[in-house]
Amino acid sequence: MKHPIKICFVGSGAISTAFAQVLSMSKKHLVEIVSIEPDVVDSINNEHVNNKYFPSIRLHEGITATRDLHSLESADIIFFGIPSTVTVDFVELNKDLFDPQTILVNLAKGFGKEDNTIPECIEKILPNPIISFKGPSFAREIINLVPTGMTVASKSSKYFDVFKELFEGTSIYLDFTNDLVGTELSSILKNVYAIIIGIVDAHYNSPNLRSLVLTKSINEMRYLLSRFGGKERTVFNYCGFGDFSLTALNDMSRNRTLGLLIGKGFFTDYISEKVVLEGKIATNTFVDKIARKRNIRTQELMLKELYQVFNDKNYDITNFVNRLLAANPIKEDLFTWF
């Protein structure tokens, strides 16, 4: 790839700013944040801070910001750091701005349209190479250059060397897979099972029980990956167990916190409507739509029990853990192992 590489981040939120900071350390890269927020653009360009998300962290002077979407036309790599609910619409609305050779990278963790993953949706709009970039990654740790693992997923392995070079010498450590679908689904499912772990921990502060449910969760995740067209082994990449453990076991995680609220009896319709709850959306989507389309029985999965929590107004949350433990384990012969 030519140098300097022009890298654009769509969105000026925490995750875009954090990765921009990491990549701006290399003189080989031109890093630009494309934002609709004029105050953030001004603060990045004039004060070298993101005054909304990281007001106390000085950004590298090589990072610039713009409100001009036409800047995307000359980008070599574009990272989408906007919410999953708007990513596909943004691409569709601005499809004429993307050079066909530009590498598109999805950072969002959620479904696109019609229960498809975001890369699947973008593939129907643009001919560009599409990468999924997922892993256990709190933005505050990334921007402070804490070592962080990320999975690069692409149908074509030729792009792996691009990302090796891109992040060489940084605090980001990479693993690679051709399982684009499995990587995307792992990043969605981990929110579901993080809620379950949160509910369990709200009822019992027990290392034994937590480990039991963690094990059942990872087995369900690999089962669902295989049934939805992904590869079971993807669950052992950074995007799988790594991201799941981060989300399930850290109180900075929104979905774990949601589980704790539910388990303690503080979950209300107000919280449900006002907070972005990826796990709740994913749970309902998997059970109501995707599983039914594929004739997948969810009755004995912990996933289905969480679905009942969200959809049965008379659900007795005090019995949640007992109902999880009563479920039959997934039989190993249901899997096609490595």
Show the domain range for 130: 5-178
291: CATH: 1.10.1040.10
98: CATH: 3.40.50.720
Name the H helices within the chain.
14-23, 38-47, 84-93, 118-123, 139-143, 160-166, 180-203, 207-227, 243-249, 254-264, 269-274, 278-285, 291-293, 302-311, 320-326
**DSSP label at residue 275:** S
Active-site residue identified among 109, 134, 190, 280 = 190
d(CA 216, CA 209): 11
pTM of the model: 0.91
190 in catalytic set: yes
Give pLDDT, residue 17: 98
Handedness of CA 184, 303, 198, 114 (dihedral sign): positive
Same domain, residue pair 45 and 113: yes
Same domain, residue pair 186 and 300: yes
> pLDDT tens digits, the chain, 338 residues: what are they?
667 899 999 999 999 999 999 999 887 899 999 999 999 999 999 999 999 999 999 999 999 999 999 999 999 999 999 999 899 999 999 999 999 999 999 999 888 888 889 999 999 999 999 999 999 999 999 999 999 999 999 999 999 999 999 999 999 999 999 999 999 999 999 999 999 999 999 999 899 999 999 999 999 999 999 888 899 999 999 999 999 999 999 999 988 988 998 998 886 665 555 455 677 888 888 888 777 767 777 878 899 999 999 889 899 999 999 999 887 667 654 444 44
Same domain, residue pair 48 and 190: no
Same domain, residue pair 52 and 163: yes
Same domain, residue pair 164 and 193: no
Same domain, residue pair 196 and 151: no
Give pLDDT, residue 96: 97
Same domain, residue pair 194 and 121: no
Domain boundary among 118, 147, 178: 178
Same domain, residue pair 187 and 316: yes
Domain boundary among 178, 212, 245: 178
Same domain, residue pair 218 and 166: no
The rounded radius of gyration (Å) of the Cα atoms in the chain is: 20
Q: Is-contact 223 331, C-beta < 8 A?
A: no
Domain boundary among 178, 208, 239: 178
Same domain, residue pair 197 and 266: yes
Reported as type and span, the H/E element at residue 78 is strand 77-80
Q: How would you list the strands of the sheet with 29-34, edge to edge?
A: 63-66, 29-34, 5-10, 77-80, 103-106, 130-134, 148-153, 172-177
Same domain, residue pair 170 and 222: no
**Largest distance between two CA atoms of the chain:** 60
Same domain, residue pair 228 and 162: no
Number of domains in the chain: 2
Please state whether beta strands 148-153 and 130-134 pair in parallel, antiparallel, or not at all (unpaired): antiparallel
